[in-house]
Amino acid sequence: QVQLQESGPGLVKPSETLSLTCTVSGAAISKYYWSWIRQPAGKGLEWIGRVYNGGYSYYNPSLQSRVTMSVDTSKNQFSLNLNSVTAADTAVYYCARDSSSSYKEDWFDPWGHGTLVTVSS
Amino acid sequence: QSVLTQPPSASGTPGQRVTMSCSGSSSNIGSNPVNWYQQLPGSAPKLLIYRSNQRPSGVPDRFSGSRSGTSASLAISGLRSDDEADYYCATWDDSLSSRVFGGGTKLTVL
C-alpha cells in the first residue's frame, strides 16, 4: 500500500522560501511521477507541478517562476520549494502520485494527508 | 475563477440519485479525459473516477462518470449520509498547459 506524508515548517515569513518534503512508502520513488497540489482554506485545488527522477520537472505556468521540485531516491522523498512567498501562498499543501507520464492521461492517486503552511510575519 | 465550472452545491436524500456537472471548453474537457475526486470533511482528496468513467478498485459502482462534448458529469446513486463531501473535477488544459480543477461541488445529504 502506497503512503505519502508531507513534512516541513508550518509557518513561513513573507518573501522567504517555502520548503516541503514528501516521504513515500510502499513504492519506489524512481518509478513514478509525483505532484504537489495546494488548497487555500475554504477554496478549491490548484496543481503546482510534477517531478520525476533524473531531473525532469514541469510546473504550472502560473507558478513556474517561483517553483522548484526535486527527487531524492536515497531517502525515497521528493520536495517542493516555493520562493518569494506572500499571504496568497497560505494553503494546505498535498503531495500525490501521478498515474502516468502523459499529462493528458494523468490522475492523482494516492494523496498525502496534507500539511498547512501559513505565510505570516 | 476556475477554468472548469461546477455548481457550488448539490443535495439529495438517502437512497436518491444525484448528479453534478463540470463544464469546460474545447481546450480542456473537449479534448481530454476527466477525473473526479471526493474530499470528505477534514480529509485529503481521494480519486473517485478516472478517464472520465473508470472506477478505481474499492470505489462502489454507485459512483459513475461520463463526458460529452465540453462537459462531464458525476452521478451518485443510492445516496448515503457518508457521501457528504466536496467533489472536484479535473483535467488537462491544452491552452493553459496545466492540469486544472473545478471549483468543487459541496454535496449535502438531507
pLDDT at A93: 98
Contact at CB, B33 and A46, closer than 8 angstroms: no
Is residue A11 within 8 angstroms of chain B, CB to CB? no
Q: Kindly report the nearest CA distance between residue A113 and chain B, in angstroms.
A: 5
- Residues β-bridged to residue A57: A51
Give the contacts of B31 (CB within 8 A, at least 6 positions apart). Answer: A104, B92, B94
From CA B107, how far away is CA B39, in angstroms rounded? 10
Q: Where are the alpha helices (DSSP H) in B1-110?
A: none
Q: How confident is the prediction for chain B on average, in pLDDT? A: 97
Does B1 score more than 80 pLDDT?
no
pLDDT digits (tens, 9 = 90+) for B4-49: 999 999 999 999 999 999 999 999 999 999 999 999 999 999 999 9
Contact list, B99 vs chain A (CB under 8 Å): 35, 47, 60, 103, 106
Q: Which pLDDT band holds residue B109 (cuts at 50, 70, 90)?
A: very high
Euclidean distance between CA atoms B57 and B43, whole angstroms: 20
Q: Which three cell numbers stand for residue B37?
A: 475526486
d(CA B105, CA B10): 7
The pLDDT-based confidence of A96 (bands split at 50, 70, 90) is: very high
Beta bridge mates, B5: B23
The pLDDT, as a whole number, for residue B56 is 96
